[in-house]
Amino acid sequence: MKTHEIRRRFLDHFVRAGHTEVPSASLVLDDPNLLFVNAGMVPFKPYFLGQETPPYATATSIQKCVRTLDIEEVGITTRHNTFFQMAGNFSFGDYFKEGAIRHAWSLLTSSLDDGGFGIDPALLWVTVYLDDDEAYGIWRDVVGVPEERIQRRGMADNYWSMGVPGPCGPCSEIFYDRGPAYGVDGGPEADEDRYIEIWNLVFMQNERGEGTGKDAFEILGPLPKQNIDTGMGVERVAFLLQGVENVYETDLLRPVIDTAERLSGAEYGPDSASDVRFRVIADHARTAYMLISDGVSPGNEGRGYILRRLLRRIVRSVRLLGAAGETMAEFMATVRDAIGPSFPETVSGYERIERIAVAEEAAFLKTLESGTQLFERAAESARRSGAAVLSGQQAFALHDTHGFPIDLTLEMASEAGLQVDEEGFRSLMSEQRARAKADSQAKKHAHADLSVYRDFLDAGETVFTGFTDLTDESRLLGIVSGGEAVAVAREGDEVEFVLDRTPFYAESGGQLGDRGMISTAGFQMRVDDVQKIGKKLWIHKGVLTAGEVEVGQLVTAAVDPEWRKGATQGHSATHLVHAALRQILGPEAVQAGSLNKPGYMRFDFNWSGSIPADVLAQIEEVTNYAVDADYGVNTIETTLDEAKRMGAMALFGENYGSTVRVVEIGGPFSMELCGGTHVSSSAQIGPVSLLGEASVGSGIRRVEAYVGMDAYRHQARERALVSGLATSLKAPADELPDRIAALTAKLREAEKALDSLRAAQLASQAGDLLGSAEDLGGIRFLAHSAPGGAAGDLRTLASDLRGRLGSDAGVVLLTAPGQGKVPFVIAVTPAAQERGLRAGDLVKAISPALGARGGGKADMAQGAGTEPGGIDAAVSALRDAVRDAG
Q: For residues 752, 753, 755 and 761, what is the CA-based torsion angle, rounded to 10 degrees?
A: 160
Nearest to 162 by CA among 198, 131, 200, 207: 207
Per residue, what are the HEC states of 411-446?
Answer: HHHHHCCCEECHHHHHHHHHHHHHHHHHHHHHHCCC
Contacts of 344 (CB under 8 A, 6+ apart): none
Distance, in Å, from the CA atom of 586 to the CA atom of 595, rounded to the nearest integer, reads: 22
Distance, in Å, from the CA atom of 244 to the CA atom of 249, rounded to the nearest integer, reads: 6
Nearest to 862 by CA among 828, 831, 830, 837: 828
Is 4 annotated to bind a ligand? Reply is: no
Distance, in Å, from the CA atom of 671 to the CA atom of 634, rounded to the nearest integer, reads: 9
Distance, in Å, from the CA atom of 349 to the CA atom of 305, rounded to the nearest integer, reads: 22
Q: What is the DSSP string of 189-247?
A: TT-TTTEEEEEEEEEEEEEEEEEETTTEEEEEEEEEEEEEEEEEEHHHHHHHHTT-SSG
| Cα distance between the two ends of the chain | 79
Distance, in Å, from the CA atom of 589 to the CA atom of 566, rounded to the nearest integer, reads: 26
Is 19 annotated to bind a ligand? Reply is: no
Distance, in Å, from the CA atom of 641 to the CA atom of 660, rounded to the nearest integer, reads: 9
Greatest Cα-to-Cα distance within the chain, rounded to the nearest angstrom: 103
Kind and range of the H or E run holding 276: helix 275-293
Distances (CA, A) of 275 to 70, 74, 255, 260, 405: 18, 11, 14, 11, 18
Angle subtended at Cα 328 by Cα 326 and Cα 329, rounded to the nearest 5 degrees: 100
Parallel, antiparallel or unpaired: strands 195-212 and 600-606:
unpaired
Per residue, what are the HEC states of 112-136?
Answer: CCCCCCCCCHHHEEEEEECCCHHHH
Say if residues 496 and 540 touch (Cβ distance below 8 Å). yes
Backbone angles phi, psi at 341, to 5 degrees: -60, -30
Nearest to 565 by CA among 677, 690, 468, 681: 677
Distance, in Å, from the CA atom of 648 to the CA atom of 645, rounded to the nearest integer, reads: 7
Backbone angles phi, psi at 867, to 5 degrees: -125, 85
Angle subtended at Cα 402 by Cα 399 and Cα 406, rounded to the nearest 5 degrees: 20
Helical segments of 476-603, H only: 561-585
Q: Provide the angle, in degrees to the nearest 10, between the axes of the packed helices 406-415 and 422-443.
A: 170
Is 447 annotated to bind a ligand? Reply is: no
Distance, in Å, from the CA atom of 307 to the CA atom of 301, rounded to the nearest integer, reads: 10
Backbone angles phi, psi at 345, to 5 degrees: -65, -25
Is 575 annotated to bind a ligand? Reply is: yes
Amino acid of residue 591: Q
Distance, in Å, from the CA atom of 660 to the CA atom of 650, rounded to the nearest integer, reads: 10
Q: Report, in this order, helix, strand and coil percent for the chain, each rounded to 5.
A: 45, 25, 30
Distance, in Å, from the CA atom of 141 to the CA atom of 864, rounded to the nearest integer, reads: 79
Parallel, antiparallel or unpaired: strands 779-785 and 774-776:
antiparallel
Quote the DSSP letter at residue 456. H
Backbone angles phi, psi at 592, to 5 degrees: -125, 10
Distance, in Å, from the CA atom of 675 to the CA atom of 685, rounded to the nearest integer, reads: 18
Known binding-site residue numbers: 571, 575, 674, 678
Binding residue numbers for Zn(2+): 571, 575, 674, 678
